[in-house]
Chain A
Amino acid sequence: MAKAGSDREAAVGAAGVETTPLCPAEHDKSAHAAQPARHLRSHAIDAANLPDRREARIAWLLALPAITLLFLFILLPTAAVIVLGFTDFELGYSNWRFVGFENYAELLGDRTFRRSLWNTAVYTVIVTPVSIVLALAIAMLIEAETKGRAFFRTVYFLPVASLLVAMATVWQFLFHPTIGPINTFLALFGIAGPNWLGASGTVLYGLSIIGIWQSVGFNMVLFLAGLTAIPRELYAAAEVDGAKSWFDRFRLVTWPMLGPTTLFVATISIINSVKVFETVKTLTEGGPNKASEVLLFTIYQEGFVYLRVGYASAMTVVFLAILVVLMFLQYRVLDRKVHYA
């Protein structure tokens, strides 16, 4: 063994031979001590590589649970929702038939559904840009500051880790028209605050404020990771080239270098905004007067409260199509960026 120990690789091979009698490589046990190091190494390679067929079989076995569950809980239900969208299936009724595009035709004329698409779009258009700009600003301020980084990061990230349903309840109190701190505070300056969540004109803004508060921390963490990845030399180089103000440095270095991060953050933010549900269900139930009716809430109402599964499935297909288009757009933009770079 002392001789083999001089060659590290052979030592590994020999150790393998000694401790594992089941390994196919070392059936000729008698030889192993006397074998030259080179011979041992070829045995080692044989043992390290599995025969292809056996390897493929093992791979299938390892992946099988995942594949089965993927079919059972993702692919099959997705296919089913598309099929159900063409039926008039209702839970509790045994009779159902294919109705072609009838559900989709009904959707076109459904004022609640159109309202909910519009509200979801408005909510997304408010929450996404504001939460991105705020998150980027906070990330840059934290990055530039040496003191209290961990503290600020924790504080801004806290809402992400907090139970949204619970914090929505707190926001409802903050937004309360008469006893809420926000309107009490506004009253100090003689401003009569609105009935935030109770009036159809302001309810979407109220929900948007909660949405922004909740998502800034998540975006900030992604931006912080992106900022750390920017090489310091680039700022020095920009300074040599005459970029004196912080805005020049931002315009010439930070913003272009953060491009991929920003695109990623934007896509996630948009998708999360389109999926707004918790706050609406907890605080407004789509009201007042359908002013906060959003896509997932409408699907929930139709499918799981009124049990019109077929009709709700058609809505779900529209929802899924929106997600697919958003992802497709992200790939397109990403593709273009790569080509121009």
Chain B
Amino acid sequence: MTSNAISVARILRLAILSTGALLFLAPYIFMVSTAGKAQSEIFSSSLSLIPEQWSYIENFSKALSRVSMSTLLFNGVVVCALIFVIQIVVAIPCAYAMAKLKFRAARTMMVLVMLGLLVPIHATALPIYVAFDRLSVLNSYTALVAPFSISVFAIFLFLQFFRAMPDDLIHAARLDGMSEAGIVARVIVPNAWPAITAFAIFSVVAHWNDLFWPLIVVTNQDYATPPLGLLYFRAAEAGDDYGALMAATLIITLPLVTAFLLAQKRFVEGITMTGLKG
């Protein structure tokens, strides 16, 4: 009786989860399906998922010829990598100083960090845009990267993480005669990989997907990031050639989705991994 009830509950549970999963995957399924359909078949509005005539090559070559996909993906990688590296290099020493050194300004810094967490790029965009316009740095990697060089979220995250690190570790390093900068580079960073990985995923997802800031500072296609490039592509296509549009969408979505599928295990590990060993 009991085991029967449990299995019924289980079947119900799996049914709900699977139906939900199918609904959540539906956009991806239709994206892949439509990217292979010819224009006429798309307009016949059938629900069939498998294209009658395989038009993948046609649609993909259209997508690749209208907008330079390689430039977009390259810009996306460069911008995300620069932002992440600068954020880490700026935030880790600061978080270390606040967490482990006797530092009068640490309290004030904490207040500033909490304030900073409140202010998104959308709030600071206007003055920064005006300043960048005056300095003539619009349409450049500098304009895309500079406002994100400081991440108060990174400082906050690393501060929590460093506070949990034992002081003995740092004392031992000082006994070995390491300078404070050396301690940050050779003791703190190697022990902070879980936090760094978690932050890397957060930062890259946020900036790979960001449309707001690139839309404001970039008008030149050469500096377009993937979201912005897709917007240009949509404008050029007048939004009607869904086959080519879905092919372009597929190309642009694939890198981050692949990265996510590969890094997901690490993400979970990063959260669960605790202690000194790293």
Contact = CB atoms under 8 A, between A and B. Distances in A.
Interface residues of B, number: 95
A73 B174 contact: no
Interface stretch (B52-60, B189-197, B244-252): B244-252
B171 A63 contact: no
A62 B123 contact: no
B143 interface: no
A299 B171 CA distance: 51
Given A65-B94, A145-B17, A172-B239, A59 B130 contact: no
A145 B13 contact: yes
Nearest to B204: A161
Interface in B196-231: 205, 208-209, 211-212, 215-216, 226-227, 230-231
B177 A282 contact: no
Interface string B118-135: 111011111111110100
Contact of B175 (A23, A65, A72, A309): A23
Contacts, number: 284
Contact of B105 (A47, A55, A60, A309): A60
Contacts of B175: 12-13, 16, 20, 23, 25, 44, 47-48
A2 interface: no
A181 B119 contact: no
Given A154-B261, A155-B24, A66 B91 contact: yes
A58 B103 CA distance: 9
Nearest to B89: A65
B177 A22 contact: yes
Nearest to B122: A296
A58 B149 CA distance: 22
B97 A169 contact: no
Given A13-B175, A167-B27, A169-B249, A275 B120 contact: yes
A285 to B, nearest CB: 11
Interface stretch (A112-120, A122-130, A319-327): A319-327
25 contacts: A23-B177, A49-B171, A50-B180, A59-B103, A59-B105, A62-B101, A62-B184, A63-B94, A66-B90, A67-B94, A67-B109, A73-B128, A74-B119, A76-B127, A78-B119, A81-B124, A138-B17, A141-B13, A155-B21, A161-B256, A161-B259, A170-B246, A174-B27, A277-B122, A300-B215
